[in-house]
Amino acid sequence: MNINFFQSIYDHPLIQRNDLNVIMNTHERINFSKGSLLLKNGKMANEYYLIESGLLRAYVHDFSGNEITTDFYCANDIAIEVSSLFQRIPTKENIIALTNGIAWKIDFEKFQNLFHSIEGFREWGRAWMARQLFISKQRKIEMLTKSATERYKELIKDNPAIVQHVPIKHIASYLGITDTSLSRIRKEILFDL
Amino acid sequence: MNINFFQSIYDHPLIQRNDLNVIMNTHERINFSKGSLLLKNGKMANEYYLIESGLLRAYVHDFSGNEITTDFYCANDIAIEVSSLFQRIPTKENIIALTNGIAWKIDFEKFQNLFHSIEGFREWGRAWMARQLFISKQRKIEMLTKSATERYKELIKDNPAIVQHVPIKHIASYLGITDTSLSRIRKEILFDL
DNA sequence: AAATAATCTTGCCATATGACAGTAAATTAT
DNA sequence: ATAATTTACTGTCATATGGCAAGATTATTT
């Protein structure tokens, strides 16, 4: 078990080395295989996962039943459904594995203990939430101000792994367009690349 | 000072009555007047505000310098820029008063004390963040899946005060369209109302 | 009250994206 | 390997929204 992996994720000035050990030992290693569901619509999230390797996709169903991809999780990301986990309510999201992979799981009760017993951990947690909120806001603004083409180009730049491994229709719903349109956009920007 | 106001905002099963008193006394009443800035781009947020009355608008500038309205805050809302306040970094947002009003202010240091000393308060804080994250995600999905017309209709339904008091151009940028388009949409839906 | 400025509406045309259908290509199952 | 299924691309047409500019309306200042 690699301490650098945990250190890069639980990165906060108030988390001491021995705190990190406690935190590490609270996680459990799991393997997931392509197609398996880590979280299912209607259930309550009881854990979250640090992704060591592999690729996951989160999605919801819109009013007419179409899958809308809300997030991708890659190595070093945290796969989590905050709303369900922290409000103790059933989720509307699904998290499914797009590839095989390895993750480190921590469940809510253990998280809760760390949160209330380690000051650095709860500072980290709050900062993490703040960052997520910032990212979410940013993405919202980008949806408003940027064209689908620009958003796709940025995805290529920031997250090439996703573009390479994920079916177009999922990327399209993530970008908020149809797969038809994305197909055309891809054709368009071939010249730029 | 109205305890019901604070109770409705700091609403969590683990917050006891005397906790609430401590929390209440940590806030300071302020008046704000139309046009005043409660937060300015480039500064660090050092406090947040519970809005008792009045109307505020948060906005950022996009790459080409246009104002994008990111949020409105009404009575009983919390006007806060989480990212700057909790990550201790300068903000990119502005919060400006659209009307005169009354708010209760709490600054970061005092918040921090409450957070670490009252378990119920930090549970409330985390749940609040989780809810915000959920709302932000929801809005993102709505931007993806709903038309500008639908989004405007929902705004009318959920927040009529905003539609009545706020200049169209701000509502338009909040919805992610131009004021021209919003003007046409308004004309369109006159029939529906 | 008049003057000025800000805001809102409207017309014209351009463009991005969607809906639907058909085909091609790739993946998966038999 | 073959068949079946899923995924990706393309064509045609429809629609929503944007860009720009000119008026109309409303608000603000003098």
Query: Is A133 in contact with B130 (Cβ distance < 8 A)?
Result: no
Sorting pLDDT into bands at 50, 70 and 90, what band is A120?
very high
Percent of chain B's residues with pLDDT above 70: 98
Query: Is A62 in contact with B133 (Cβ distance < 8 A)?
Result: no
Distance from CA of A133 to the nearest CA of B (A): 6
Q: Does A168 share its domain with A136?
A: no
Q: Does A41 share its domain with A56?
A: yes
Q: Does A179 share its domain with A151?
A: yes
Sorting pLDDT into bands at 50, 70 and 90, what band is A44?
very high
CATH code at A135? 2.60.120.10
Structure-derived torsion over alpha carbons of residues B76, B81, B86, B91, reported in degrees to the nearest 10: -160
Is residue B86 pLDDT above 80, yes or no?
Answer: yes
Mean pLDDT of A44-63: 95
Q: Does B79 share its domain with B102?
A: yes
Residue appearing with tokens 């177009």? A168
- Quick: pLDDT tens for B15-58: 999 999 999 999 999 999 988 999 999 999 999 999 999 999 99
Domain of residue A175: give its range.
146-193
Percent of chain A's residues with pLDDT above 70: 98
Q: Which bases of chain C come closer than 7 Å to a protein CB?
A: 7-11, 16-21
Q: Does A169 share its domain with A106?
A: no
Is residue A10 pLDDT above 80, yes or no?
Answer: yes
Q: Does B40 share its domain with B80?
A: yes
Query: Is B176 in contact with A139 (Cβ distance < 8 A)?
Result: no
The CA–C1' separation of A186 and D13, in angstroms, is 22
The CA–C1' separation of A157 and D8, in angstroms, is 22
Nearest chain B residue to A87 by CA: give it. B127
Residues of chain B by 3-state class (helix, strand, coil), percent to 5: 50, 20, 30
Residues with CB under 7 A from strand C: A 147-149, 176-178, 180-181, 184-185; B 167-169, 179-180, 182-184, 186-187
Q: Which of A170-174, B2-6, B19-23, B171-175 has the lowest mean pLDDT?
A: B2-6
Instruction: Number of helices (H) and strands (E) in chain B: give both, helices first.
Output: 9, 8
What Å distances lie between residue B83 and A35, A107, A138, CA to CA? 35, 26, 11
pLDDT at B1: 60
pLDDT at A63: 80
Distance from CA of A79 to the nearest CA of B (A): 15
Structurally, how many domains does chain A consist of? 2
Sorting pLDDT into bands at 50, 70 and 90, what band is B8?
very high
